[in-house]
Structure 1
Amino acid sequence: MGWGSAGHKLFDPVARALIEAGASDELKEKTLTDLIPVLQEEDWDTELDSLQNFLDDPAIAKAFANNGILWED
């Protein structure tokens, strides 16, 4: 059984905090690229839900892509 709440309880708040703090694209990408596999190791299975929430932020979308998670239109 996957860890569906990792997105809305961990990933999404971290991503939003980075955005609200005015973090550079480089910092957002690096931080979230490193966070994604940690959550996946804990059986995060709703990555696409979180990706969908941040498709308008290229740095965050790239963090997902760096981990092989892509949004298919």
Structure 2
Amino acid sequence: MGFGSAGMTFFDPVARALIAAGASDEVKEQTLGDLIRNLQAEDWDTELDSLQLFLDDPAIVRAFAANGIDWED
């Protein structure tokens, strides 16, 4: 069984907080990349839902891509 609530419970609030704080692209990529890896280890299965929310942020898109999650148009 997957970890479907990981996005709205953990990933999305952290990503929004980093954006609101004006975090650099490097900080967003590193922090969220680590978070993505950890959530995937817990069987996160709604990664694309979270990725879709942040498609306008290249650093976040890169963090997902570095963990094998790409948005297909």
Which of the five TM-score ranges fits, normalised by the shorter chain?
A: over 0.9
In structure 2, the gaps of 5 or more residues are: none
1:69 matches 2:50: no
Q: Percent identity?
A: 78
Q: After TM superposition, which residue ranges in structure 1, 4 or more long, deviate above 6 angstroms?
A: none
**Aligned 1:1-73 pairs, distance under 5 A:** 1-73=1-73
In structure 1, the gaps of 5 or more residues are: none
What residue identity is the alignment partner of 1:13? P
CA RMSD of aligned residues (A): 0.4
* 1:21 to partner: Cα distance: 0.3
Separation in structure 2 between the aligned mates of residue 27 and residue 50 of structure 1, nearest angstrom: 18
Deviations 1:17-57 (A, max 9, x none): 00000000110001011110100111110000000000000
Equivalent pairs counted in the alignment come to 73
